[in-house]
Copies of this chain bind each other. A is one copy, B any other.
């Protein structure tokens, strides 16, 4: 099949957008958006790369499509944003053309769950499989979560349980392995937390210890954590502290703010407090917690 034929196939799979602000989708040099009023737009882009984020013998094309979109959707969740559209750049070996529709089926199944439209992208031939997904979402003007918005005295919270993805990666079994292959971005929880007035959040893609250190840097504060952490059943403390790809939300809120025990079906756990900046960025039960999560260039 030619490039044009493959693109036409993708266009058919994508169908028509439910967002009327998207006035031109796949098929022109650019997608065209007529921005909704009184909203900010948020934008993110994330790679998934063969043998870095997946391998072809453990992940189906549909798994890879799911994961490629999930990583970027998780960044929208981290802003409290409602998903709007995505652009997908996909490179595959020439021999792997049947990969294309299956990749898009996995991606579009997740896209429909979160009401995000496929609006365009790029398709190229390359010896390895890789994808780069750009997602755009909307929030009411000025209401996007910021990493730099943590205030002294805020409590620190996480959604769900930590360490499940690392456990899945290690054991290659059961629900944890499925969560590693097909992570569920916390989009609904992000939107609900924004409606509760949360202002500071991020998603955990590289592990709590590294991601929280980044939040502390942007907010110019330190963090004091305490046990017990919401460790996923069967996961180790190390999985929970330093394992990547849980894609749970990490957020802060003023101590006086009452949050429900669950939000959008996810447990919320208080894990510590924001304190003045110190030489040590994070402590856990008063011991220094060095950032050890995933660093591409460590």
Chain A residues packing against B (C-beta within 8 Å): 1-6, 23-24, 27-35, 39-47, 49, 52, 75-76, 78-79, 81, 85, 87, 89, 91, 94, 97, 119-128, 130, 132, 134, 136-137, 141, 144-148, 202-203, 214, 218, 295-298
Contact = CB atoms under 8 A, between A and B. Distances in A.
Number of copies: 2
Given A28-B147, A35-B35, A125 B45 contact: no
Contact of A40 (B33, B41, B136): B33
Nearest to A28: B147
A127 B128 CA distance: 10
A295 B33 contact: no
Contact of A89 (B32, B45, B121): B45
A43 B30 contact: yes
A28 B295 contact: no
Contact of A49 (B29, B32, B126): B126
Contact of A79 (B3, B29, B123): B29
A33 B41 contact: yes
B298 A3 contact: yes
B91 A297 contact: no
A29 B128 contact: no
7 contacts: A3-B297, A28-B79, A29-B203, A35-B40, A43-B136, A52-B125, A125-B296
Given A40-B33, A218-B28, A46 B122 contact: yes
Contact of A35 (B41, B147, B298): B41
Nearest to A50: B126
Given A122-B132, A126-B130, 20 more contacts: A1-B297, A5-B297, A28-B146, A29-B79, A30-B43, A30-B44, A30-B81, A32-B40, A32-B144, A33-B40, A33-B42, A34-B41, A43-B85, A43-B134, A43-B136, A45-B121, A49-B124, A97-B297, A126-B128, A128-B128
A146 B24 CA distance: 9
A280 B270 CA distance: 67
A37 B239 CA distance: 47
A295 B203 contact: no
B27 A218 contact: yes
Contact of A34 (B87, B89, B141): B141
A279 to B, nearest CB: 17
B42 A32 contact: yes
A2 B43 contact: no
B125 A297 contact: yes
A262 to B, nearest CB: 23
